[in-house]
Amino acid sequence: MMDLEPIRTQIDELDRQLVDIINRRLMLAQKIGEIKRATNGEIYVPEREEAVLRKVVASNTGPVKNEALRAIYRELMSAGIALEKPLCIAYLGPEASNTHAAAMKKFGASLDYRAMDSVAGIFAAVEKGEADYAVIPIENSTEGSVREALDSFVQSDLKVVAQLYVEINHALISNEPLEKITTVYSKDQALAQCRYWLQRHLPQARLVEASSTSRAVQIAAGEPGAAAVAGELAAEFYGVPVVARQIQDKTDNTTRFFIIGHKAAGPIGGGKDMSSFLISLGDEAASQSGSLLKMLMPLAERGINLSKIESRPSKLRPWDYYFFIDVSGHYEDPPMQAALAELREFCPLVKWLGSYPAVSST
Ligand SMILES: O=C(O)C(=O)C[C@]1(C(=O)O)C=C[C@@H](O)C=C1
C-alpha cells in the first residue's frame, strides 16, 4: 500500500496556510465593517456578494465543484458579516421550517436567527428593528405565489434585497404507521404540493392547515393519529419519524424566497439585476380596453423584460386589482426610470418593492 503520511503532511501544511488566509480575509471584512459603522453603510451587501461569487466561480479550474465553492464562500462571508455586526435574520418558523433552511443557506452559520409565526410578524420584526433582515417564501414552482407574502408589501416600505431558489422535498412525518394516520397537518402550500400523493395513500385523512411545515410537525408529534407534511430537517429536529419520503407531486418542486430589509441592493449591471413593483391601474382598468397592455408597453418598449405578473385583489373595493410584476434591470437604470415616469402618468400607484441580483448563485 502507498504511504498516506507524506500526503497528509502536505494537507496539514495547506490547512495551516488556509486558516491564515481565512483570518486575513476576515480581518479585511472587519476593516470594512469599521468603515461601514462610521458611514452608516449596509452590512449585508447582496450585489457585492454576488460579484464575489461570480469571480470565484469564474476563477475555478477544478476539481472543486462550483456548488462546493459557493457553500464555502457562504460561510466565509457569514463569518465576515458576524465580525462586522452580528446580524439577526427573521424567518417563518418555528425552527427547522423550509424557510429556516433557506435562511441558513443564504446567510450561513455565523448569524443569529429568529423564528416568527407569521409573514405579518416577520415584516413587523424588521420594521421595528428587532431583526435586520428576513427571509420569506414568495412563490413555488408547483403552487404559485404565497399570497400573504405578496399582500404584506402593500402596507410595508421594506424592500426586497435578494432572492434565492431552493428545491423543496416533502416527507410524511408521524409517530404512527401510514394505516393509522387520520389527520395530516401542514402549511396550505405544502399540502397542495403533495395533493395527489395524499389522495392516493391517505384518501380518508383530514387535511388541516398549519401556520408552517415545522409547526405541523410540532402538532403531529403530540396528537394520536396525526401526521405532518414537512422537510426531513423538521423530522430530525423534533425527533418524529419519517413515514414516507419525497411525497411532493413534482420532483423539481422549487420555492423562491425573498430576503427583505430596509435598503434594496445596489446595481450590478450587465443584465444581472431584477426589480419588483406593485402597480395599480385604478379606474383605468375598468373603464378602458387594453389598459393592461398600456401598463406593460413602457417597459417592453425599453427592452425591460417582464418575468412575472400576478394580480391580487386590492381589498379597497371589489374587483379592483394590484399587479405585482418582476422585471429585468435595476430601479436606478435610466430606461427603468423613464418607463416608471411614463407609468406614473396614468397609474395611481407605482410602488417600487426592491431591486436585487438576478439569479442568486448561493
Ligand atoms: O465587501 C463588503 O462590503 C464586505 O462586507 C465583505 C463581504 C465579504 O466577505 O466579501 C461580506 C459581507 C457583505 O455582504 C459583502 C462582502
Q: What is the pLDDT of residue 107?
A: 96
Residue 109 CA, chain-centre distance (Å), reads 16
Can you give the pLDDT of all 362 residues of the chain as single tens digits? 689 999 999 999 999 999 999 999 999 999 999 999 999 999 999 999 999 999 999 999 999 999 999 999 999 999 999 999 989 999 988 899 999 999 999 999 999 999 998 999 999 999 999 999 999 999 999 888 998 899 999 999 999 999 999 999 999 999 999 999 999 999 998 999 999 999 999 999 999 999 889 999 999 999 999 999 999 999 999 999 999 999 999 988 899 999 999 999 999 988 899 999 999 998 766 667 788 899 999 999 999 999 999 999 988 888 888 999 999 999 999 999 999 999 999 999 999 999 999 975 44
Give the number of the atom of ligand 1 that is nearest the alpha carbon of residue 84.
5
Q: Which residue lies with its CA nearest to atom 11 of ligand 1?
A: 77
Tell me which of 21, 23, 28, 32 to substitute to probe ligand 1's pocket, judged by most ligand atoms within 8 Å of the beta carbon: 32
Q: What is the pLDDT of residue 361?
A: 47
Q: Which residue lies with its CA nearest to atom 16 of ligand 1?
A: 49
24-43: pLDDT as tens digits: 999 999 999 999 999 999 99
Q: Rounded distance, CA 149 to CA 139, Å?
A: 9
Q: Which residue lies with its CA nearest to atom 5 of ligand 1?
A: 29
Q: Which residue lies with its CA nearest to atom 7 of ligand 1?
A: 77
Give distance in angstroms: CA of 49 to centre of ligand 1: 6
Query: What is the helix (H) or strand (E) element at residue 325, kind and residue range?
Result: strand 321-328
Q: Which residue lies with its CA nearest to atom 10 of ligand 1?
A: 77
Give distance in angstroms: CA of 131 to centre of ligand 1: 19
Give distance in angstroms: CA of 45 to centre of ligand 1: 6
Question: Residue 281: left (phi > 0), alpha (psi -120 to 50), or beta?
Answer: alpha
Q: What is the pLDDT of residue 286?
A: 62
Q: Rounded distance, CA 178 to CA 247, Å?
A: 13
Tell me which of 36, 77, 110 to substitute to probe ligand 1's pocket, judged by most ligand atoms within 8 Å of the beta carbon: 77
Contact call for residues 138 and 150 (beta carbons, < 8 A)? yes
Active centre residues (catalytic):
255, 257
Locate 194 and state its grid cell: 403533495
Give distance in angstroms: CA of 288 to centre of ligand 1: 49
Whole-Å CA distances, 341 to 89, 236, 331, 350? 35, 52, 12, 9
Q: Rounded distance, CA 214 to CA 229, Å?
A: 9
Burial track 174-183 (b if 16+ CB lie within 10 A, e otherwise): bbbeeeebeb
Q: Which residues contact 232 (CB under 8 A, 6 or more apart)?
A: 169, 171, 173, 242, 245
Beta-sheet pairing, 171-174 with 242-244: antiparallel
Strand partners, 83: none
Count CA atoms closer than 13 A to 4's CA, side-chain side: 2
Residue 299 CA, chain-centre distance (Å), reads 26
Residue 348 carries which side chain, given as an amino acid letter? P
Q: Rounded distance, CA 137 to CA 225, Å?
A: 29
Give distance in angstroms: CA of 30 to centre of ligand 1: 9
Q: Which residues line ligand 1 (CB under 6 A)?
A: 29, 32, 44-45, 48-49, 52, 77, 80-81, 84
Residue 329 carries which side chain, given as an amino acid letter? G
Q: Which residue lies with its CA nearest to atom 8 of ligand 1?
A: 77
Give the number of the atom of ligand 1 that is nearest the alpha carbon of residue 46.
14
pTM for the structure as a whole: 0.90
Tell me the DSSP string of 38-88. Answer: HHT--S--HHHHHHHHHHHHHT--SSS-HHHHHHHHHHHHHHHHHHH---E
Cα torsion angle, 204, 145, 246, 95, sign: negative
Tell me which of 48, 53, 107, 161 to substitute to probe ligand 1's pocket, judged by most ligand atoms within 8 Å of the beta carbon: 48
151-185: pLDDT as tens digits: 999 999 999 999 999 999 999 999 999 999 999 99
Q: What is the pLDDT of residue 353?
A: 98
Residue indicated by cell numbers 418607463 = 339
Locate 212 and state its grid cell: 408552517
Q: Which residues contact 351 (CB under 8 A, 6 or more apart)?
A: 153, 277, 278, 279
How many residues can be counted in the chain? 362
**Domains present along the chain, CATH in parentheses:** 5-84 (1.20.59.10), 88-167+254-261 (3.40.190.10), 171-244 (3.40.190.10), 273-357 (3.30.70.260)
Give distance in angstroms: CA of 233 to centre of ligand 1: 29
Query: What is the helix (H) or strand (E) element at residue 321, kind and residue range?
Result: strand 321-328
Give distance in angstroms: CA of 308 to centre of ligand 1: 30
Q: Which residue lies with its CA nearest to atom 4 of ligand 1?
A: 29
Please, what is the end-to-end C-alpha distance for the chain in angstroms? 41
Give the number of the atom of ligand 1 that is nearest the alpha carbon of residue 28.
6
ipTM of the prediction:
0.99
Give the number of the atom of ligand 1 that is nearest the alpha carbon of residue 45.
14
How big is the CA angle at 230 (ends 224 and 232), to the nearest 5 degrees? 100
Q: What is the pLDDT of residue 320?
A: 86
Burial track 275-312 (b if 16+ CB lie within 10 A, e otherwise): bbbbbbbbeebeeeeebbebbbebbeebebeeeeebeb
